[in-house]
Chain A
Amino acid sequence: MTQILAIAGTTLGEAIRRRVLLIILMVGLAFIIIMPGISELSARNSYDVLSNMTLGIIKITSAILAVTLTVYLLPNEIERRTIYTILSKPVQRAQFLLGKYLGSVSALVVMIGLMTIVLIAAFAIQLKTTDAKTLLPLVRQSVMLVFQMSLLAALALFFSTFATPVVNFFLTGLFFVFGNLMNPLFNQLGSGKAGPVVGTLMKAAHYVIPNFGNLDVQGGATAGEAQIRGSELVYMFNGAIYAIVYIGILMILSIFLFEKREV
């Protein structure tokens, strides 16, 4: 455990050093530019538009962060040969991998956390309110974002045990888009409406492919209703468990592949 934490700590430190300030600055700037103009564009009340918009920006930013952070995790270590100093110590490869992953996830938590703070501050200023009812939903969605991005990071790490960074980017991106679409696609095509082959494929995909849509409480159609029923928390809880279980799967597969890999 000491080893895992030590590796996680350096990974976090490095990630933070490299990117965080720039990212937060950019996101903050984006908010400031976008927020006053955005409500003009929509027929809907400005709070919903603003929250969806800004959380959308945070989502995209964190997805890019999660992928860039993890895609280069192993290649960088190998290129700088630090991995040899680590693997020649009494450190299991599994420990190395887990440490690297935990480090990236902590970095994501820190970054999403900071972006959320910027977001809440921006909202408080724009809407001139500190009402918890207005600001709390933003936090809730950020929490789900952490799970979603952790899953994305695990996926990118898994691919990085056998694919080159370019291939990895492509694969992870593809899975992210597809995984976000999983539920509506399955809903539409799983019944075999588009033919039995497509239906079966869709079912299989829905069972196996990491379902990022499961972790999305943004844009919930009757989310208001779900909040009143208290079922949103159930949904979030299920989603979080799903993410953890799926991350477990990806980590075990990554460990198997990484044990075999010659670095």
Chain B
Amino acid sequence: MKKPRTLLLGILTALLVAQGVLSQRFIFPQWKRDYSTGNLGIAEGLTPDQLLASLSGLRTLVAGILWVKTDEYFHNGQFDAVVPLVRLVTWLDPRQEEVYATGAWHIAYNFTDEQNRSDRRYIPLALRLLQEGVQYNQNHYRLFHETGWLYYHKIDDDYDKAVKWFEQSVSKPGVLKYLRSILASAYQRDGRIEDALVWYAKLEKDAADEFAVTKDPTTRILKDTQEKNLNNHLIRMTSRGYFGKKAGVYDKYPYDTHNPVNLNFTFKVEVVDKKVIRVTGTWGIPTTGARVRCVLRDADYNLKWEPAPGLDFDIDRNRTFMLDPLYTQNGRFDRRIDMSRNPTMYGFKSDEYVLEFYFSPRSAPPHIQDKIGWNGEGMTDRQFIDDKVRPGQRVLFTSVKLTRDQILRRGEYRDGYVYRSPGYKEVTTLEESDVIFRGSMRN
């Protein structure tokens, strides 16, 4: 009896060591890589029964219920509750792509002030959420596409990133066909005109190949669309002088981008009330579709869209960042920007501010790009053309400094503050109409 006991004790010791090594060295590292669902601290937001259920394999269900709840909060306008709940849902069920996508959309687009300007300070958070989702859903296109779309459409400035994410998205199996052409548009906005051509050509060939096999009406429509896209692009490259430049004959022929459009940009900034500014000005592109981006921000707060590493899911509430895409019409703009009713969004805690105006030809619609080109070679302005802030492009860019006292109408600015750019002329009453009557850019 003694001997088997000693033997068993020996086996017991060996097994204890073995399980420890197996668990620590082999299983845990792989668990961390493949199965970890992130931060457990998040679990604090669950009621005990939800927590218990979530641990016992019903996580998906709990996540589903919470997601319904999230939607409720969103529609009630309780935005503060939305972000943590989205975090919780994704923690419970990190493979719910829809939650990442919709959650990021809410965060980036839907936290708005009274005049429907979204709170741009949240954009890094939305990106962060999407990137986390991408980590957990790497073999599916959806969140790559959503991230690309956020760069392309919402940020609408950092097209390198948009291209990068769309390239990932289209390389995933099962990506929807109609989503693939967005990459060509992103290439164009990023200034990679030939890459766009190559991609349009590939899409056209794929569609043609598919139609050759299936011969069904749906693929025929797709094939026609891709053909049209490719042709349009070729026509634009030609008419905007892309090929002419390459051949060194750009100056010889009357391309559309010659005889540049004069942007004729002048502006006036008035602090009409506490935290209410009015920007008015002239604008040489009279047709609709070209928006001038107006930003008012803390002087030292140049918001980087890309989330910083280790960014937690909250924003710096002391910072102010207002962005308004100014709607222009009949050669002018006039916008009253009221920031007084959303103190959480516009805290105005800093002393110094910068007001910026920015227009890039890359984000302009095609019919305007036809005149000014992809890089702004077809536009001019007496004062504000800048070829440094966006390398390789001629953009419109200017800024003025404002102080806290000016914006809050304090001290010497009790009666208001007005800034007029050089050459600013008050807009005549003749053109103060909602009717768009100026269709041509040629003045």
Contacts and interface: CB of A to CB of B under 8 A. Distances in A.
Direct contact of A and B (CB under 8 A): yes
Interface of A: 38, 41-44, 48-49, 52-53, 55-56, 59-60, 63, 177, 180-181, 183-188, 206-208, 211, 213-214, 216-226, 228, 231-232, 234-235, 238-239, 241-242, 245-246, 248-249, 252-253, 255-256
Contact of A242 (B23, B41, B57): B23
A238 B24 CA distance: 11
Interface string B1-34: 0000000100110011011101110111011111
Given A53-B60, A60-B56, A216-B35, A238 B22 contact: yes
The winner among B18, B24, B31, B67 for most chain A CB atoms within 10 A is B31
Given A181-B55, A252-B15, A256-B8, A43 B102 contact: yes
Given A41-B68, A242-B19, A245-B19, A219 B57 contact: yes
Tell me what chain B mostly uses at the interface: helix, strand, loop, or mixed.
helix
B96 interface: yes
B12 A232 contact: no
Nearest to A223: B34
Interface stretch (B112-120, B132-140, B303-311, B372-380): B132-140
B36 interface: yes
25 contacts: A42-B60, A42-B64, A44-B98, A49-B61, A56-B60, A180-B56, A183-B36, A184-B36, A184-B40, A185-B40, A188-B40, A211-B23, A211-B27, A219-B95, A222-B35, A222-B137, A224-B138, A224-B139, A225-B138, A225-B139, A234-B30, A235-B31, A238-B27, A249-B19, A253-B12
Tell me what chain A mostly uses at the interface: helix, strand, loop, or mixed.
helix
Given A43-B102, A238-B22, A249 B60 contact: no
Interface residues of B, number: 53
B146 interface: no
Nearest to A189: B40
A232 B22 contact: no
A218 B93 CA distance: 11
A252 B11 contact: yes
Nearest to A225: B138
A44 B68 CA distance: 12
Interface in B84-125: 93-99, 102
B139 A52 contact: no
A243 B31 CA distance: 15
Contacts of A241: 22
Given A43-B64, A238-B30, A255-B8, A177 B57 contact: no
| Closest 10 pairs between A and B when the two form their complex, measured CB to CB | A56-B57, A42-B64, A43-B98, A41-B64, A52-B60, A44-B96, A226-B34, A59-B57, A220-B35, A56-B58
Contacts of B39: 188
A60 B37 contact: no
B107 to A, nearest CB: 15
A44 B57 contact: no
Contact of A228 (B27, B40, B139): B139
B220 interface: no
Contact of B140 (A214, A224, A242): A224
Nearest to B35: A220
B60 A245 contact: no
Contact of A221 (B23, B26, B35): B35
A5 to B, nearest CB: 20
A221 B133 CA distance: 10
